[in-house]
Amino acid sequence: MSAGFHYPKARRVVLTASVAAITATGAWYGAGLKAHQERKKEVVAIRESTAAERIAMLESARGQLIAKKIGLERKIQELERRRDGMSREEAGRGSERRR
């Protein structure tokens, strides 16, 4: 008798689970490596860029941040209006509920 599993079904389940675990671990590790390599390329590209290119990148990032800020401010205003007794539709329009 072998020292391994006596039941073929149990052996099959263990092997399947092992292969799945190894595959998942490899995919996760590979994704981490790829993300790290992409980040290195971005850093190198920023270091090698000219002053004008850096300014353009910063202005682009600033524009994206301003767009996020405007969206968040709008959400905050809507929540404050709803807190003060307006319905969701009224808060979107900026009018108060008549009681």
pLDDT at residue 46, as a whole number: 85
Full-prediction pTM beyond 0.75?
no
pLDDT at residue 88, as a whole number: 63
| Burial track 14-37 (b if 16+ CB lie within 10 A, e otherwise) | eeeeeeeeeeeeeeeeeeeeeeee
pLDDT at residue 16, as a whole number: 96
Please, what are the averages of pLDDT over each run of 10 residues along the chain (99 residues)? 68 94 97 96 90 93 98 94 76 57
Which backbone phi and psi does 45 adopt, to 5 degrees?
A: -65, -40
> Residue 52, SS3?
helix
